[in-house]
Amino acid sequence: MKKKVFIDQKPLQCPSQLRAIHDTMDILSGKWKITIIGCLSFGDKRFMDLMREVKGIGSKMLSKELQELEINGLISRTVQPTKPVTVEYALTTYGETLRPILWEMADWGQHHRIKVKATFSGEVGSG
């Protein structure tokens, strides 16, 4: 019986690798995290800026997602001594280390969308 080894690399499932993938997934999971990171990759933003730019989010979820991103060191939260106080959120250098993952996912997702479209238009009542 042949062994599938993910092309020419070692398979996953060494438990530490799977655990690491799950850690990463947990950090990026949540309905708005990716969008917020994308939004902050454009430039620093205040709470109300994010409320306006992240379409559909409510203040509770924005607050919660920002807290989780900050806890994981992906974004920074800086209270500005303006009047009234404003809070500036920014992607940290550490947050930027997610870039390779995000680009791989964007790439795969784009190909997948094309593939799904092709699959559905290619099926001519065969199933």
Partner DNA sequence: GAAAGTAGTTTCCTTTGAGAAACTAAGTTG
Partner DNA sequence: CAACTTAGTTTCTCAAAGGAAACTACTTTC
Instruction: Give the footprint of its own copies on this chain (CB under 8 A).
Output: 1-7, 9, 11-13, 16-25, 27-29, 34-35, 37-44, 72-73, 90-91, 94, 96-113, 115, 119
Both ends of the chain: CA-CA distance in Å? 31
What's the closest the beta carbon of residue 68 comes to DNA, in angstroms? 9
Main-chain dihedrals φ then ψ at residue 42, nearest 5 degrees = -80, -30
Cα 31 to Cα 50: distance, rounded to the nearest angstrom: 15
56 scored as a contact of DNA (CB under 7 A): yes
Question: Which of 43, 81, 83, 121 forms a contact with DNA (CB under 7 A)?
Answer: 83
Cα 110 to Cα 34: distance, rounded to the nearest angstrom: 16
Cα 30 to Cα 41: distance, rounded to the nearest angstrom: 18
Residue 86: both structure tokens together: 């404003």
What's the closest the beta carbon of residue 9 comes to DNA, in angstroms? 27
4 scored as a contact of DNA (CB under 7 A): no
Q: Which residues bind DNA (CB under 7 A)?
A: 29-32, 46-49, 56-61, 63-64, 66-67, 77, 83-88
